[in-house]
Structure 1
Amino acid sequence: MAMGTAERRGAPEDGGTGVSASVAATAPDHGVPVAGPDAAADERRPGYRPLWREEPARRRRMPDPVRTAAVRAVLVVAVTLILAMVAFLSTLAESWLAFPMVLASVAGTVVATWCVLDVWVTRQVWNQRHGVVSVPSSTARAMRRERRRARRRARAAETGGGRIGRRGGAGQLSHP
């Protein structure tokens, strides 16, 4: 006889309906726990083990054009590997299909190389257009900081000279 969740857990918790609180807190169509007030109660129950645990991402998500190029490259490489395997097996079986498959796998290798290079170039172009990720050791960050300082000094010298000229009557400081 199959035992349901209510029978395994013991007495009903919701006043005699025979359905436990954990079953009531699941989505009606899939049995997936729904976040709500009962979810916190489940976590405090001894022996409760969640199906998954949320963890922060280790790295940021790839930009969309780079991810698109990477998916394309993975698909082309996979197809090329399949072509190479079919060519190898056809050669072992001395099939007429061996020569066309060898030609197709050579062409696939060229296309796969092109796709992998496309991922690299797309990533470089994205970084160039949208700036590099600033980390403390980044040389680009130090260069930007130095350019900002130079612009501030130039602006301060430009505005500072104008103020002195407006204050004095002859454009000089207090002593000649």
Structure 2
Amino acid sequence: MPYQQHRQLWVDEPAIRRRMPDPVRRAAVRAVLIMSLTVIQAMVAFLCTLAGSWLAFPMVLSSVGSTVVTTWSVLDVWVTRQVWNQRNGVVSVPSSSARQLRRERRRARRAARTAQRDDARIRRRDSGSLSRA
């Protein structure tokens, strides 16, 4: 049997998206943990209700409270992300659509100015003649 090259178990590939900033990642992990606990709590409340346990009512009430806290934690991720972007700026990628729009607007303004200048030049040239035929 000829010598075969051993394949690597995995190949490192560059990440498609940049890593989340630390404060945003912390908020996201917190939100995921709170969400998972809320789902578990809701499941326990449902099962207690089916079983007719005395624990059903307190669990339902706490599940409602946990849902409010979960919503707050998800909003916290969004707010933290917005604040981080405002303070540190968004990384601009050369292919970003905003940059292309700015480039197109700049070209249009430049073309309009050139046309205006040419019109003014033609008018000055025409106004200098003494007779109009």
- Aligned residue among 33, 40, 46 for 1:88: 46
- Aligned residue among 19, 23, 26 for 1:65: 23
Residue identity opposite 2:31 in structure 1: A
Aligned partner of 2:82 in structure 1 is 124
1:113-153 Cα offsets, whole Å, 9 max, x none, are 000000000000000111122133126x94xxx8xxxxxxx
Larger RCO of the pair (alpha carbons < 8 Å, separation 6+): 2
SS of corresponding position for 2:97: coil
TM-score w.r.t. length of structure 1: 0.52
Following superposition, the deviation at residue 50 of structure 1 comes to 1.6
Following superposition, the deviation at residue 47 of structure 1 comes to 5.1
Tell me the distance in 2 between the aligned counterparts of 1:137 and 1:108.
40
TM-score w.r.t. length of structure 2: 0.68
Higher helix share: 2
1:84-118 Cα offsets, whole Å, 9 max, x none, are 00000000000011011101110110000000000
Aligned partner of 1:137 in structure 2 is 97
RMSD of the TM alignment (CA)?
1.8
Is 2:1 aligned against 1:49? no
Identity %: 70
Give the total of aligned pairs. 98
Larger radius of gyration: 1
